[in-house]
Chain A
Amino acid sequence: MHTMSIQRKKIHPHKYSLWIAMGSITMMFIGFTSAYVVKRSQANWLAFELPHIFWLSTALILLSSLTIHLALKQFKERNMQRYKQLITLTAVLGVAFAVCQWIGFSQMRNSGLALNGPVSASFIYVIVGVHMLHVLGGVVALLIMFGRAYRTRVRTYSAVPIEVAATYWHFVDVLWIYLLIFLSIAR
């Protein structure tokens, strides 16, 4: 269904929905981080250092933001071969990010900071874990794009879906940077 009005140059409704959804996800993490702040000000708060592998995962997700940006550019120039390569690379980087986070979890576990241990560690598991799920949601979206790009019967020329995916991808990237800075400072 074609729903745009011609009279005004308006933002596409799907992009609009995405922006509201990002606001909504932000509120969820604000909920988590403010709970963290409240708990931290109370007694028995155990401070510890974040697993070092989180820095590697940060590099990976930053890189993936770059690749999806390039993918969008290639799509608009109709270089479909490069486009497919780049979104595949982005999805792989997304999975690698999740794996790094998972390794970070096992490092924490091995150093005696289990999920059911001190509450400061539990928060890391939950916050980082929920963020990881959001990244994996983005990977699923990319897989759908990938499937569409290989369709031969129907060809899509609209850049809206990939733009929506790219915006979301940058969003989870920025969200991770925020969480990393937050968790490093408010220890």
Chain B
Amino acid sequence: MSNEATLHSQQEVMHGAHDHHDHEHHHEDNFISKYVFSLDHKMIAKQFLITGIVWAIIGAFFSVVFRLQLGFPDATFPWLESILGHWAKGGRITPEAYYALVTMHGTILVFFVLTAGLSGTFSNLLIPLQVGARDMASPFMNCLSYWFFFLASLVMMASLFVQTGPASGGWTMYPPLSALGDASIGSKIGVDLWLISMALFVVSQLLGGLNYISTLLNMRTKGMSMTKMPLTIWSFFFTAVLGVLSFPVLLSGFILLLFDRHAGTSFYLSDIFIAGKALANEGGSAILYQHLFWFLGHPEVYIIILPAMGMVSEVLAVSSRKPIFGYLAMIGSLFAICILAFLVWAHHMFVTGLNPFLGAFFVLLTLLIAVPSAIKVFNWLTTIWKGNIRFTPASLFSIGFVSTFISGGLTGIWLGNSSIDIHLHDTYFVIAHFHIVMGVSAFFGMFAGIYHWFPKMYGRFMNNTIGYIHFWVTLIGAYLIFWPMHYEGMAGMPRRYFDYSSWTSFNQFGGLNQFISIVVILVFATQLLFVFNFFYSIFKGRKLTETNPWKATTLEWTTPINPGHGNWPGEIPEVHRWAYDYSKDGRDFIPQTEPIGPNESAH
């Protein structure tokens, strides 16, 4: 495995002709070292993906349960009592259970699915394969990264089963509700477990991020200059940079919170009365936590969306058989988003009593993000413009991503204005905005990635028909769920309430809420169909017969159908051109490994 880039010069690396190198140097693997404590980046990617899928089912199921409450506040569902016990006495969830479900839905989806499940899966899978490396810079640290994530998952899972329930103060875990065990039933041990789990999660993300960065900066194959890298790799790079710089700040916020909970310090607490009794804490500031939290929290949304953007760029170019439009502009806009991500956190805090003068700067910087975002959108549209599009499930999900990113991004311009935000803050408008632009879009990017790289992961295809059903129901369903929420939000309907039925102003939305809840159930069922497709195809899917099923230019398709640990059986191929030579000089595609011809100019 140590024969490294020595003499590449004359090496003809399989392009066009797909020779099968069957079994490559496999050192003896037993079950434990192959499937459990694997050091192979491809196996670790699958571990992240499958753990993420399990979490996604749980997190989405929670949303179904609380949507039942919101859509049918007077109905009872006896089956709920049989799974939730006293949290759903008589078949109707209690307010405490409602808050716990909402909090866990947010935590699970934002961190465990769309951070670990998304960038954990695809950074691990694609970075070594697409830059031409045998494995990560430190395979051991990579393995550790997954197992820290697994531990974090176990702790979070355990918190669902403690007597007082999981943390329920919202996924942002704002003090004082989260800092005082007596504040609510969901502020007791559930919050401690939440904080421990998140600390383990941060460690996992840092170990992973370090590896991604040093692998893609140091271990690229010969000829793979930074500007020859596919955009996937660029997006994983910026994602990792954001994570490495912002997660530690979140950790410091959590450490201070833990001290407030257990050591009697007053970092976030001041002048608090519980049940008429004054607490001794003095001199703290709850806003301080919000600053520390959102300094991570805002980059976090880009940690979620950037990998999806990268994969969508790649899939759109492959499926429309055209070079990506504005490659350098794509990198530049990723970079701009990465910088701005650190300068806009206070737009989450416009109504906390923030100095309006300061708010003006945050409005300006927030609206500036529209510029790189628009550049990306135009580049995606011009990439598919007049392309010879192959409507695979992956390409449909990529186009769906562009759609939801536009419609969710536009409402961001509303919310980014501090004066409009005073009205819209904490209403369903905000829910609609971030679910479309970050939740649905990121999921679409993830689905595009799964459908596109599934053949690389398992050597089989997923079922296309189920894929098409999955796409259309999810796209239409997502809009039917979140579009009406904009209207509810504009009418002032606040989020986080358990029951609106006694609130006359919002009675007009009773039918709408029912409608949303019904669509939620349909969309959830369709996601289960996807999960079935995924697991069924691992074992029974149509087998790959060629190494490069999508006729793509990038390096991962030069590996054997089922690559062993080390990826390439022979030497690592050398790279001669960028990743987007599609429909060039009368050829459908030219792999990155093919030298620049005499009558050809490099991109």
Whole-angstrom distance between the Cβ of A154 and the nearest chain B Cβ: 17
Q: Within the complex, which residue of B206, B222, B246 is in contact with A21, where a contact is CB–CB below 8 Å?
A: B206
Q: Within the complex, which residue of B221, B283, B285 is in contact with A38, where a contact is CB–CB below 8 Å?
A: B285
B213 at the interface (CB under 8 A from A): yes
Q: Inside 8 A of A185's CB, which chain B residues have their CB?
A: none
A11 at the interface (CB under 8 A from B): yes
Q: Within the complex, which residue of B214, B248, B285 is in contact with A42, where a contact is CB–CB below 8 Å?
A: B285
Whole-angstrom distance between the Cβ of B39 and the nearest chain A Cβ: 9
Among A16, A25, A30, A38, chain B packs the most CB atoms within 10 A around the CB of A16
Quick one: given A3-B133, A5-B219, are A20 and B213 in contact (CB under 8 Å)?
A: yes
Quick one: given A1-B134, A116-B265, are A35 and B256 in contact (CB under 8 Å)?
A: yes
Asked if B210 and A20 sit within 8 Å, CB to CB, the answer is yes
Asked if B222 and A44 sit within 8 Å, CB to CB, the answer is no
Asked if A14 and B138 sit within 8 Å, CB to CB, the answer is yes
Q: Within the complex, which residue of A3, A29, A39 is in contact with B137, where a contact is CB–CB below 8 Å?
A: A3
Asked if B218 and A24 sit within 8 Å, CB to CB, the answer is no
Of chain A, the residue at the smallest CB distance from B213 is A20
B588 at the interface (CB under 8 A from A): no
B264 at the interface (CB under 8 A from A): yes
Q: Inside 8 A of B253's CB, which chain A residues have their CB?
A: 31, 35
| Bound CA–CA A5/B282 (angstroms) | 58
A17 at the interface (CB under 8 A from B): yes
A10 at the interface (CB under 8 A from B): yes
Of chain B, the residue at the smallest CB distance from A33 is B252
Q: Inside 8 A of B285's CB, which chain A residues have their CB?
A: 38-39, 42
Asked if B282 and A44 sit within 8 Å, CB to CB, the answer is yes
Q: In chain B, residues 172-227, which have Cβ atoms closer than 8 Å to a Cβ of chain A?
A: 206, 209-211, 213-215, 217-219, 221-222
Asked if A16 and B137 sit within 8 Å, CB to CB, the answer is yes
Q: In chain B, residues 1-40, which have Cβ atoms closer than 8 Å to a Cβ of chain A?
A: 1-2, 4-6
A122 at the interface (CB under 8 A from B): yes
| Bound CA–CA A179/B536 (angstroms) | 56
A32 at the interface (CB under 8 A from B): yes
Q: In chain A, residues 102-132, which have Cβ atoms closer than 8 Å to a Cβ of chain B?
A: 115-116, 118-119, 122-123, 126, 130
Asked if B137 and A17 sit within 8 Å, CB to CB, the answer is yes
| Bound CA–CA A42/B267 (angstroms) | 12
A2 at the interface (CB under 8 A from B): yes
Whole-angstrom distance between the Cβ of B472 and the nearest chain A Cβ: 42
Quick one: given A1-B139, A39-B285, are A10 and B6 in contact (CB under 8 Å)?
A: no
Asked if B218 and A11 sit within 8 Å, CB to CB, the answer is yes
Q: Inside 8 A of B301's CB, which chain A residues have their CB?
A: none
B162 at the interface (CB under 8 A from A): no
A6 at the interface (CB under 8 A from B): yes
Against B, the Cβ 8 Å flags (1 = close, 0 = not) of A18-61 are 00110111011111100100110011110000000000000000
| Bound CA–CA A27/B296 (angstroms) | 11
Of chain A, the residue at the smallest CB distance from B287 is A38
Among A11, A45, A119, A123, chain B packs the most CB atoms within 10 A around the CB of A119
| Bound CA–CA A14/B137 (angstroms) | 7
A13 at the interface (CB under 8 A from B): yes
Asked if A2 and B2 sit within 8 Å, CB to CB, the answer is yes
Q: Inside 8 A of A4's CB, which chain B residues have their CB?
A: 4
Q: Inside 8 A of A6's CB, which chain B residues have their CB?
A: 4-6
Asked if B206 and A2 sit within 8 Å, CB to CB, the answer is no
Asked if A13 and B139 sit within 8 Å, CB to CB, the answer is no
Asked if A31 and B248 sit within 8 Å, CB to CB, the answer is yes
Of chain A, the residue at the smallest CB distance from B135 is A1
A81 at the interface (CB under 8 A from B): no
Asked if A119 and B291 sit within 8 Å, CB to CB, the answer is no
Whole-angstrom distance between the Cβ of B225 and the nearest chain A Cβ: 11
Asked if B265 and A24 sit within 8 Å, CB to CB, the answer is no
A7 at the interface (CB under 8 A from B): yes
Q: Within the complex, which residue of B248, B292, B295 is in contact with A25, where a contact is CB–CB below 8 Å?
A: B248
Q: Within the complex, which residue of A1, A11, A130 is in contact with B2, where a contact is CB–CB below 8 Å?
A: A1
Whole-angstrom distance between the Cβ of A2 and the nearest chain B Cβ: 4
Q: Inside 8 A of A17's CB, which chain B residues have their CB?
A: 137-138, 141, 210-211, 213-214
Whole-angstrom distance between the Cβ of B21 and the nearest chain A Cβ: 20
Q: Inside 8 A of B219's CB, which chain A residues have their CB?
A: 3, 5, 13
Among B2, B215, B246, B288, chain A packs the most CB atoms within 10 A around the CB of B288
19 A-B pairs, CB-CB below 8 angstroms? A1-B2, A6-B6, A10-B218, A13-B215, A16-B137, A17-B137, A20-B214, A24-B209, A24-B244, A27-B249, A28-B251, A35-B253, A35-B292, A38-B285, A42-B285, A119-B267, A119-B283, A119-B284, A122-B267
The 9 closest A-B pairs by CB, nearest first: A116-B264, A13-B137, A28-B248, A31-B252, A31-B249, A2-B2, A16-B214, A122-B265, A27-B248
Residue positions of A touching B, CB distance < 8 A: 1-7, 10-11, 13-14, 16-17, 20-21, 23-25, 27-32, 35, 38-39, 42-45, 115-116, 118-119, 122-123, 126, 130
Residue positions of B touching A, CB distance < 8 A: 1-2, 4-6, 133-135, 137-139, 141, 206, 209-211, 213-215, 217-219, 221-222, 244-249, 251-253, 255-256, 259, 263-267, 282-285, 288, 291-292, 295
